[in-house]
Amino acid sequence: MTEGKQSIRIRASIAVVQGGKILLVPHYFADGRPVEWFLPGGGVKYGEAVRSAAVREFQEETGLAVECGELLGISERIEPETPWHGLTIAFRGVVTGGELVAEMSKYSQYGDKTPKWFTLDEINRLTCQPLELIQKALA
């Protein structure tokens, strides 16, 4: 990769916990890697406030309206072989309305994008990102 193409992706997300379960969304990869479950969220656009991005992306990925609460934490993921370098800024949140639906994205062709609720025991059997923030939200 050339120096000019390297960048760090900033991802804003919201952790919603209800009844001891956390809402996660499946992410599929074009290169065939196994599905990973993420806190609902996505990329922050230039000039967009991080909290606003988290609320927007949460609704895009889940169909649910959410209130963004306190900062849960920040996680960094570096995969030189991919190459990938991302920061996830996660907030706690509460669902305020909407209906849970699957996001239609370019990766929907690889599998069902319906968000699902998971207990901590279930999460320990999955590949989840960012795991430390998901565990913190459930603690």
What would the pLDDT profile of 48-98 be if each residue is shown by its tens digit? 999 999 999 999 999 999 999 999 999 998 888 878 899 999 999 999 999
Total domains present in the chain: 1
Residue 27 lies in a domain: yes
The pLDDT tens digits for 97-123 are: 999 998 776 656 667 889 999 999 999
Question: Which residues does 30 contact at the CB level (< 8 Å), separation at least 6?
Answer: 107, 110
**Structural domain contains residue 35:** yes
Q: Domain with 87 in it: what CATH number?
A: 3.90.79.10
Residue 91 lies in a domain: yes
| Domain membership of residue 37 as a residue range | 10-138
Q: Is the pTM of this model over 0.95?
A: no
Q: Is residue 129 part of a domain?
A: yes
Q: Can you tell me the distance from the alpha carbon of 45 to that of 38, in angstroms, rounded to the nearest whole number?
A: 19
Does 122 reside within a domain?
A: yes
Residue 62 near residue 74, CB atoms below 8 Å: no
Please name every residue paired with 87 in a beta bridge, in sequence order, or none if there are none. 10, 76
Strand pairing of 64-79 and 41-43?
Answer: unpaired
34 part of a folded domain: yes
Residue 71, amino acid: L
**3 inside domain:** no
Q: Residues 15-35: what's their mean pLDDT?
A: 90
* Beta strands 116-118 and 84-98, pairing class: unpaired
Q: Is residue 2 part of a domain?
A: no
